Amino acid sequence: MYELINAFIALFIIIDPITNAAIFYQMTAHFDEKRRKGTIKRGVITATAILLIFAMFGDIIVKPFGMTINDIRIATGLILLIYAIQALFGKTEAEMIDPESVAIVPMAIPMLAGPGAISLVLYYRSIMPPYEVALVVLTVMLVTYPILMVGQLLSKVLGKNGTLALTRIIAILMAGLGIAMMREGVMEIVKGRIH
């Protein structure tokens, strides 16, 4: 149960629907309501499908590359740390997308199912049964969808400074999670060499 809660929190932090909802609304301010909602729906479905593929078949996907659990831990930690540093300096995956080319692919990847989320799913796939990781993905995306739908409200409530502050707080949490994963991976490798 602890692993499930831990995985949910970690994936929710990396997907960051609250900040992304406000940013996505600002990026699509020229869209009519129907088009915006349709784009969000397609983006969430696409991102969910991508993350579920990695949740169910992640080991098959990474096996040909000879990666171990500890390699995935360190790589995931490093990716999270890089994203955290970018966010601390004011860059988010969503903001790097050209506002004129917002569609399923830019929204689903990288806003929702970016390298950080995919790496995190691969990490949990290596330490949890696939059906549990799939359950976490579905739960996070079910929570993410309505949050993205109220992007206009979040954008008004948070404002530019609130969105910025929330991005920094989430970046600090993400950095801590990334460092913890890297430490865990390195310690396991060292332990394996000693024994």
pLDDT tens for residues 43-98? Answer: 899 999 999 999 999 888 888 888 877 888 888 888 878 878 887 776 655 555 55
Tokens representing residue 153 in the block? 């409200």
Per-residue model confidence (pLDDT) at position 93: 53
Q: Is the sign of the CA dihedral 22, 92, 59, 7 positive or negative?
A: negative
pTM of the model: 0.76
Per-residue model confidence (pLDDT) at position 106: 59
Per-residue model confidence (pLDDT) at position 171: 81
Listed in sequence order, the residues at least 6 apart from 97 whose beta carbon sits closer than 8 Å to its beta carbon are 27, 106, 107, 110, 111
pLDDT tens for residues 137-192? Answer: 999 999 999 999 988 888 788 887 887 787 788 788 888 888 988 998 899 888 88
**Cα dihedral 165→168→173→177 (10° resolution):** 160
Per-residue model confidence (pLDDT) at position 69: 76
Tokens representing residue 175 in the block? 């950095």
